């Protein structure tokens, strides 16, 4: 059994346990695409699984990674999603990043975003990287680590 097959099986087993424990009416879909294994819940009323600000779904994703990788490094990536939450969250983060960048450029001052998990900070860093008029960096310690969007200093 390949590493991807084992990962898919582990993710499916975990999601079955969570769906049963939370008594959710959801279909579980686990797919591999390249080096990413995605476990998705499809159904109505998955707010309990997603949790406030995605805390529950992030915790399940972290747990899935711990189960699959056993603390060892891997080229695989595990993503847990429900009802399109990850795409909606990514869109909201991009909009928030664009607004922060515009404010930073307009005011000439850095703008701190709300704390977010590492994967979300990475998404914002990558989204703003090619703008040329702002830079991004992270500050603080988990779980309060946040991203700062600052105007680029012009060369004098």
pTM exceeds 0.75, yes or no: yes
Q: What domain range is 13 assigned to?
A: 3-83
pLDDT at 155: 53
- Final residue belonging to a domain, choices 83, 107, 134: 83
> Is residue 128 one of the residues assigned to a domain?
yes
Burial of 138 from C-beta contacts in 10 A (0-12 / 13-18 / 19+): middle
Q: Indicate whether 32 belongs to any domain.
A: yes
How many separate domains does the chain show? 2
d(CA 137, CA 125): 8
Q: Which residue among 37, 61, 83 closes a domain?
A: 83
Phi, psi at 17, each rounded to 5°: -60, -45
- pLDDT for residue 119: 86
Per-residue pLDDT of 121-137, as tens digits, reads: 999 999 999 999 999 99
Percent pLDDT > 90 in the chain is 80
Mean predicted confidence (pLDDT) in 70-99 = 93
Q: What is the rounded average pLDDT of the residues 84-90? A: 94
d(CA 131, CA 31) in angstroms, rounded, equals 33
Distance CA 142, CA 15 (A): 26
In angstroms, the CA 57 to CA 89 distance is 12
Least confident of 1-5, 43-47, 125-129, 151-155: 151-155
For residues 74 and 156, which has the higher predicted lDDT (pLDDT)? 74
Q: In what order do the strands lie in the sheet with 77-82?
A: 26-33, 36-43, 77-82
Check residue 75 and give its pLDDT. 87
pLDDT tier at 156, thresholds 50, 70, 90 = very low
Residue 80 confidence (pLDDT) above 50: yes
Any domain includes 57: yes
With 0-12 CB in 10 A as exposed, 13-18 as middle and 19+ as buried, what is 63? Answer: middle
pLDDT of residue 93: 96
């Amino acid at each position: 059994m390949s590493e991807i097959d084992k990962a898919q099986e582990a993710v499916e087993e975990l999601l079955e346990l969570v769906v049963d424990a939370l008594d959710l009416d959801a279909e579980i879909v686990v797919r591999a695409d390249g080096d990413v294994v995605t476990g998705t819940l499809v159904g109505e009323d998955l707010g309990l699984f997603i949790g406030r600000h995605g805390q529950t779904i992030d915790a399940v994703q972290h747990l899935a990674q711990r189960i699959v990788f056993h603390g060892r490094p891997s080229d695989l990536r595990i993503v847990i999603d429900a009802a399109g939450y990850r795409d909606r969250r990514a869109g909201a983060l991009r909009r928030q990043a664009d607004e922060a960048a515009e404010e930073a450029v307009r005011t000439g001052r850095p703008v701190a975003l709300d704390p977010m998990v590492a994967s979300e900070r990475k998404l914002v860093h990558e989204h703003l990287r090619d703008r040329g008029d702002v830079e991004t960096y992270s500050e603080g310690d988990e779980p309060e680590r946040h991203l700062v969007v600052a105007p680029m200093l012009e060369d004098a």
